[in-house]
Amino acid sequence: RVGVVSIPVVVHVVHNPARPEQNIGADQIHSQIEILNQDFRAANPDVTKVPPVWKSLVADTMIEFHLATRGPNGEPTDGIVRVETQRMGFTHDDLVKSSATGGAAPWPSDQYLNIWVCQLTGGLLGYAQFPGGPPDTDGVVIRHSAFGSTGTAAPPFHLGRTTTHEVGHWLNLFHIWGDDGEGCSGDDKVADTPNQAGNNTGIPIFPHISCNNGPNGDMFVNYMDYTDDAGMMMFTSGQSTRMNACLEGPRASFLV
């Protein structure tokens, strides 16, 4: 593909009236869209913190995002839907994605990236559906306190990287450690990410070596690891190629 593609986004804010903080403000939503655009275009200010050995792999994916300006029936919209729920929180069971279960139905998922923002229970920051799944649950779900960089966004997940990570999954990226626990046989199907044992948390010190991947070690600064938001700041060229292949394939409806 030549040129940038910009994906229309609808944000469903599913909130309990007894928990007003769940009804996040438009400024918090706008901060998240800006972060997505910075991160997917390698225009994030902290890209300078990528260790020198990986700077040549930093990728501008040529993918951008914007809040929808037209709804499913062509009506003007600000791309934000607010729905009240009686539930105190949700988990990764997709109940937030249907009004019958206290959530909100998606807009047509071949035309919009649906983002549900709500309270998530336990330690869950967010979850995503990979391409090829059921249309009525397609999209990503993000905990309100891990969404955007203002309002209720709370450290250490206050820089919008949970959404960057989950949209990576939505565009077919696997975790950088290959989802094999702590093993060295898992594969993220991307050639330019080092083989890595398990996930990293916090903000590791370079280098962190596993699976004989020295001297540079794990690419823990990658959005598809599990570090703090301030510790992740890049996609690789290989990951960009894989996401763009998804846009030419199972998510090709976004290119028209």
Q: Note the residues at the interface with ligand ARG (CB under 6 A).
A: 124-127, 146, 157, 161-162, 165, 226-229, 232
CB 35, min distance to Ca ion, A = 28
- Closer Cβ to ligand ARG, 51 or 71, answer by number: 51
- The one catalytic residue among 21, 64, 84, 166: 166
| Owner of token pair 């398990």 | 198
Measured from the CB of residue 198, what is the shortest distance to Ca ion in angstroms? 6
- Cβ distance to Ca ion smaller for residue 38 or 213: 213
CB of 218 to Ca ion, least distance (A): 10
Chain residue whose CB lies nearest Ca ion: 186
Q: Which does 11 bind (CB under 5 to 8 A by kind): Ca ion, ligand ARG, none?
A: none
| CB closer to ligand ARG, 226 vs 254 | 226
208 DSSP β-pair partners: 217
> Judged by CB, which is closer to ligand ARG: 227, or 240?
227
Minimal distance, residue 195 CB to Ca ion, in Å: 7
C-beta neighbour count of 80 within 10 angstroms? 18
Residue 125 binds: one of Ca ion, ligand ARG, none (C-beta under 5 to 8 A by kind)? ligand ARG
Q: Which residues partner with 128 through β-bridges?
A: 140
240 binds, among ligand ARG, Ca ion, none (CB under 5 to 8 A by kind): none
The entry of Ca ion, ligand ARG, none near residue 229 (CB within 5 to 8 angstroms by kind) is ligand ARG
Say whether residue 199 binds Ca ion (CB under 5 A). Answer: no
Active site residue 166: yes
Secondary structure of the chain in the HEC alphabet?
CCCCEEEEEEEEEEECCCCHHHCCCHHHHHHHHHHHHHHHCCCCHHHHHCCHHHHHHECCCCEEEEECCECCCCCECCCEEEEECCCCCECCCCHHHCHHHCCCCCCCCCCCEEEEEECECCCCCEEECCCCCCHHHCCEEEEHHHCCCCCCCCCCCCCCHHHHHHHHHHCCCCCCCCCCCCCCCCCCCCCCCCCCCCCCCCCCCCCECCCCCCCCECCCCECCCCCCHHHCCECEHHHHHHHHHHHHCCCHHHCC
Backbone CA torsion sign across 130, 109, 11, 13? negative
Residue placing its CB nearer to Ca ion in the complex, 84 or 180: 180
Residue 186 touching Ca ion (CB under 5 A): yes
Least distance in Å: CB of 200 to ligand ARG?
A: 10
* Stretch 152-181 residues interacting with Ca ion (CB under 5 A): 177-178, 180
* Contact set with Ca ion (CB under 5 A): 177-178, 180, 186
Catalytic residues: 166
